[in-house]
Amino acid sequence: MKGIIFTEFLDMVEKKFSIDTVDKIIESSNLASGGSYTSVGTYPHTEMAELVVNLGRETGIPVKDLLIAFGNYLFNRLAVLYPNFVIFENGLLFFLESIENHIHIQVRKLYPDAELPQFNTKLIHEKKLEMIYVSERHLGDLAEGLLMGAIEFFKQEASLKRERQLDETIKFTIELI
């Protein structure tokens, strides 16, 4: 998992809770990195799972909610850090369609070893998009949070529906209102 996810996660924990909370969840986790993350590095995704679980334990908030909240936060941060990737003009659905074939390709150019999730999209009609999330990490909650962040960012009224598929993948349906 890319280091930026870790640094942004810890930043969020520091902002929403406190720097002490950051210390506590690092201390209580068994991390190979020792909690030292740089955004350009790559780290095992198990470390993220451990950190989130410990944050839940520390704050008493369900892990699912934490991941959704983090996804929401992360999208806004990524949009600020990499404005060139967020094509605003053509609206939300167009942007979501561009993730797999545009953004992820650019990311792979910079980080050939990056293990990225797949967001397979299908435009049902001009106001409705299906997106299948495929990832070994099973971070569906994070993905949901990211999508919510995107909807907010684009300031478009939209409904978001999440369904677990038989093959363990998750289908999101985004429909503009």
Partner 1 sequence: MSKEEEIWKKRLERERNARKQAEKLLEEKSLELYVRNTHLKDITENQEILINHRTSALLKALHEAKEANLTKREFFANVSHELRTPLNGILGMAHMLLDTNLNNIQKDYTQTILISSEILLNLINDILDFSKIEAGKLELEETEFDLSQTLYEVLDILSSKANEKKIELLLKYEPSLPNSLKGDPIRLKQILLNLGSNAIKFTEKGKVIIEVKLVKSTKNHSILKFEISDTGIGIPDDKIKLLFNPFTQADASTNRKFGGTGLGLSISKKLAEMMNGEIGVDSTPDEGSTFWFTTKFKTKNKQQSTIDGPPVLFVDYEAICIDCNEESNDELIKHLNAWNIKAKKIESVSALQKMKIKPNTILIIGSENEENFLNELVETGIKNKFVLKIFLSKIRTTKIIELAKMNHFDSIIFKPLKFRQIQLELSASLNTISEKSETEKKQNASNNKSQTDIQILIVEDNLINQKVALALLNKFGFKAHTADNGLIALEKMKQQKFDLIFMDFQMPELDGYETTGRIRNGQSGICSPKIPIIAMTANAMKGDQEKCLIAGMNDFLSKPIIPAELEELLQKWVDFIQQKK
**In whole angstroms, what is the distance from residue 84 CA to residue 107 CA?**
12
How many residues of this chain interact with partner 1, rule: CB under 8 A? 12
Is 19 one of the binding residues for partner 1 (CB under 8 A)?
yes
C-alpha span between 60 and 139 (Å, rounded): 20
Among 37, 73, 153, 172, binds partner 1 (CB under 8 A): 37
Scanning the structure block, which residue is given the tokens 């369609």? 97
Q: Which one of the spans 33-41, 50-58, 59-67, 83-91 is the region binding partner 1 (CB under 8 A)? A: 33-41
Supply 1's token pair: 């998992």
Between CA 167 and CA 150 the distance in angstroms is 26
Give the nearer residue to partner 1 in terms of CB position, either 30 or 89.
Answer: 30
Residue 23 near partner 1 by CB under 8 A: yes
User: Which of 35, 22, 40 has the alpha carbon at shortest distance from 111?
Assistant: 40
- Whose Cβ is closer to partner 1: residue 40's or residue 87's? 40
Of 12, 26, 55, 147, the one binding partner 1 (CB under 8 A) is 26
- CB atoms inside a 10 Å sphere around CB 86: 16
What is the binding site for partner 1 (CB under 8 A)? 19-20, 23, 26, 33-38, 40-41
